């Protein structure tokens, strides 16, 4: 099923992101985790793609297994920063063969310690989106950054590139994680002003590890509001308390978003079925409204 049809159905949606293993010996354990998350019955799931496509074979396998075993629509990530056009075509054909019809098109991050390529076939996600659009009837998602991409000079430049991606053939957008809903509301106002009308899935990251999230927040440029910082400071070194507080904070964000008309929530699960299950439990009746 195409995700664009799910997002246009008129009802709120809850989706989960999972990531594949880096090595084959971890595949079975990761597969079991993703199956537990799929068993929760989300509206769809996304499967990420390692830096430079390093886990591409596991991405396709996990996506196929989830869809086949649980009939949960799957969104397979695909990046282009270290890929040739031939590799992208091969990947798209592989996805088609596995019955996967939804892709999230990303430029991606260059793998660490990889030398700079003299000639790159892809520079921006919009180029990848155009190739995917011409390759067949894929439903195409793309990333957006409510606080601006860390490499953009300013938010105006970031919106210009986002508009280019949308015009290249994007069906829906998924945001980077954020911890202050007002940032998303302002972002949604700005993109509607420039004519971007595609559905937007709000990316929510439940915080269960204080040290990890401080590092990720610093790398991504994500603003940490004072209320969030207080939770990290108070509970970040106490795992069980941090887990409980993190679930509560994410739940509060989601409820506020849904109450204010943001209909689509995408949870970055970090491959933790218990976190995904707790959030679904907390909003199960709310999603029916």
| Tens-digit pLDDT profile for residues 121-170 | 898 999 999 999 999 899 999 999 999 887 777 888 999 999 999 999 99
| Tens-digit pLDDT profile for residues 214-228 | 666 555 678 889 999
32 is catalytic: no
Instruction: Specify the residue for token string 């079975």.
Output: 28
For the segment 19-30, the average pLDDT, to the nearest whole number, is 93
| Tens-digit pLDDT profile for residues 71-130 | 999 999 999 988 889 999 999 999 999 999 999 999 987 666 555 555 578 989 999 999
* pLDDT (0 to 100) of residue 82: 80
* pLDDT (0 to 100) of residue 123: 86
Average per-residue pLDDT for the chain = 91
| Tens-digit pLDDT profile for residues 49-66 | 865 555 678 999 999 999
| Tens-digit pLDDT profile for residues 245-284 | 999 999 999 999 999 999 999 999 999 999 999 999 999 9
The CA-atom distances, in angstroms, between 172 and each of 7, 43, 90, 206, 242 are 8, 15, 24, 22, 33
Q: What's CA 186's distance to the chain center, in Å? A: 20
C-alpha torsion angle, residues 30, 228, 254, 260 (rounded to 10) = -150
* The CATH number fitting domain 3-288, selected from 3.50.50.60, 3.30.565.10, 3.20.20.220, 3.90.79.10: 3.20.20.220
Q: Are 124 and 164 in contact (CB under 8 A)?
A: yes
Spatial separation of the C-alpha atoms in residues 276 and 124, rounded to whole Å: 32
| Tens-digit pLDDT profile for residues 180-217 | 999 999 999 999 999 999 999 999 999 988 777 766 65
Of 17, 101, 127, 147, which residue is the catalytic one?
A: 17
Q: Are 232 and 246 in contact (CB under 8 A)?
A: no
């Amino acid at each position: 099923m195409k995700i664009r049809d799910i997002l246009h159905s008129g009802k709120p949606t809850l989706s989960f992101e999972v990531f594949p293993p880096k090595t084959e010996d971890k595949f079975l354990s990761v597969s079991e985790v993703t199956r537990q998350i799929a068993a929760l019955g989300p509206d769809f799931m996304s499967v990420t793609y390692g830096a430079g496509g390093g886990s591409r074979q596991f991405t396709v396998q996990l996506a196929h297994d989830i869809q086949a075993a649980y009939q949960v629509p799957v969104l397979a990530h695909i990046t282009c920063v270290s890929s040739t056009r031939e590799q992208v075509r091969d990947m798209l054909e592989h996805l088609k063969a596995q019955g996967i019809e939804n892709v999230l098109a990303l430029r991606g991050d260059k793998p660490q310690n990889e030398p700079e390529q003299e000639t790159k076939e892809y520079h921006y996600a919009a180029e990848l989106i155009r190739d995917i659009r011409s390759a067949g009837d894929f439903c195409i998602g793309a990333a957006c950054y409510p606080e601006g991409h860390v490499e953009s000079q300013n938010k105006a430049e970031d919106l210009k590139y986002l508009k280019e991606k949308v015009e290249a053939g994007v069906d829906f957008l998924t945001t980077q994680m954020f911890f202050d809903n007002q940032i998303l509301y302002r972002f949604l106002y700005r993109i509607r002003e420039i004519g971007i009308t595609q559905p937007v899935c709000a990316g929510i990251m439940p915080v269960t590890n204080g040290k990890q999230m401080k590092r990720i927040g610093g790398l991504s440029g994500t603003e940490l509001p004072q209320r969030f910082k207080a939770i990290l400071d108070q509970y970040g070194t106490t795992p069980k308390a941090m887990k409980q507080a993190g679930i509560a904070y994410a739940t509060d964000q989601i409820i506020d978003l849904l109450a204010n008309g943001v209909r689509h929530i995408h949870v970055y699960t970090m491959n933790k079925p218990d976190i995904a299950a707790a959030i679904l439990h907390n909003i199960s009746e709310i999603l029916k409204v």
